[in-house]
Amino acid sequence: MSGRILIRGGRLIDPANGVDAVADLYLADGRVAAVGQAPDGFQADETVDAGGLVVCPGFIDLCARLREPGHTHKATIASETAAAAKAGVTTLCCPPDTGPVIDTPAVGTLIQEKAEQAGKARVLPIGALTRELNGKDLSAMAALKAAGCVAVGNAYQPLANSQVWRHALEYAATHDLLVMIRPEDPWLKEQGCVHEGRLATRLGLPGIPESAETVAVAQALALIEQTGARAHFGQLSCGRAAAMIAEAQSRGVAVSCDVAIHQLHLTEDDVDGFDARCHVSPPLRTAADRDALRLAVASGAIAALCSDHQPHEPDAKLDTFLSTEPGMAALETLLPLTLRLVELGLLSLPAALERLSAGPARILGLPRAGLAVGDAADVCVFDANQVWKAEGAHWASRGRNTPFWGQEMRGAARLTLLAGETVYRADNR
C-alpha cells in the first residue's frame, strides 16, 4: 500500500480538469486525496519540494513496443517500462505484433502480469484484429476484451479486403471495442522504405507515396461511417491524411488520431546520408507535411502525441538502408520533443500536456485520467528547463536507435508515481 505524499509548491497542470496553478497535491492510498488544501488529519509520510517544477498527470502513450514476448534480444517489458517511468509515462499501449501475437487472452494476460511484476508502468495490450494478424480470420474480440485488451488492431499487417474490414469493424462495434488503425495501403507501399519524393530519387531508394496513407484513411473512413465503429488512426505521417480525418470529425464522425512525436520534428531530409536511425514506418515526409501535422496537433484534430517506441539491437540498423529494420527508440525523447513544440510557440504548456494525458485517455475511454480528488495518483513531476544528453547513463531503454542520440534535450522527469508508488526518481546527474 502506498503512503501519504505531499507534493508541495509545484506548478500543477491538470488538463483534464482545467487546472493550471501553483498548488500543493496530496496523495494517499494510491489516489489523489486533495488539491490545494490539506485534508483533515493529513500527515505526509513524504514531502516532495516541487518548487520550480511542473506537476501533471502521468503520460499515456498510445503506441510503444516492449519487444516481449518474442523479441527479448531487443528489449524486455522490464527494461522498457523502466524507460517509460523515467520518461514520465505511467500508462502505455502495446501493439499486438508480439511473438506470439496478442490474439488470445493468455498472451494479453501474460503481458500484463509481466508488467505488474516489473512494477514500473501500466501496460494496456491491444488485441489482434485478426488471428495471427493474418488479415482474414477475425479474432475472439470478446475474450480479448475480457482479458484486458483496451482496443484491437492489426498493427502493420493489412486486411485481405474491404469486406473483412467491414466485418471486423462491425464485430468490434458489437463489443464496444476501439479499433486502432495504422493506415497504409500495402500495394501502394510495395517495398518502399522512405517517402516517395526528391530524396528517395536522389538516393535511389524505393519510395512510399503519400497516397499509401490517404487511400487507406479514405477506405477506413467510409467503412467506419457505415458501421458506426469506434476507430482511431495511429501514427499519421502526412498532412493530407490529418485533414481528411479532421473533415470527418467536423461531420460528427467519431474518429480520432495521433502522431508520433518524431514526425513533428524530422523530415525526409534527415534520411540523407542513408541514416538508418531515420528509417521509420510510416516514413518521414516533407517539411510541408511536418508543418501540417503540427497545425493539426495545435487545432486538436490530432488529439494525442505518442512515442511509437521501437527499440532495436544495434545490428538491426547496421545493414544497407533498405535492409535495416524500421523504428526508433523514443520513449525518453517524448517529453523533451513535446516541450520543443511549446518553445516553438505551437502549443501552450497545458495544451501540450493535454496531448500526452487527457487526450489519449479520452481516446481509450479511460475514466478519471487527471489529478482530481479520487483519481489514481499517476503523477509526473518534471523540470521543463533541465538540459541533459541523450546518451550513456542518462538513457534507460535497451534500444539506442534514435537520431537524437548524443543531442542535448531540454526537459526531464524528476519523479514519477504510479498509483502513488515511486517508480522513478532522478538522481543528481
Residues 6+ apart with CB under 8 A from 242: 236, 257, 259, 292, 293, 296, 301, 302
Q: Indicate if 308 belongs to the active site.
A: yes
CA-CA-CA-CA torsion for 354, 184, 149, 121, nearest 10 degrees?
-50
- Within 156-260, residue ranges assigned H as helices are 162-174, 186-189, 198-203, 211-227, 239-250
Task: Encode 369-397: b = buried (16+ Cβ within 10 Å), e = exposed.
Answer: bbbeeebbbbbbbbbbeeebebeeeebbb
Query: What span, in angstroms and rounded, lies between the C-alpha atoms of 255 and 26?
Result: 36
142 CB neighbour count, 10 Å cutoff = 13
278 CB neighbour count, 10 Å cutoff = 23
396 phi and psi angles, rounded to 5 deg: -100, -30
321 within 8 A of 219, measured Cβ to Cβ: no
Annotated catalytic residue within 308, 315, 375, 383: 308
Query: What span, in angstroms and rounded, lies between the C-alpha atoms of 235 and 153?
Result: 13
Q: Which residues pair with 25 in a beta bridge?
A: 7, 35
Beta strand 89-94 with 122-128: parallel, antiparallel or unpaired?
parallel
Residues taking part in catalysis = 308
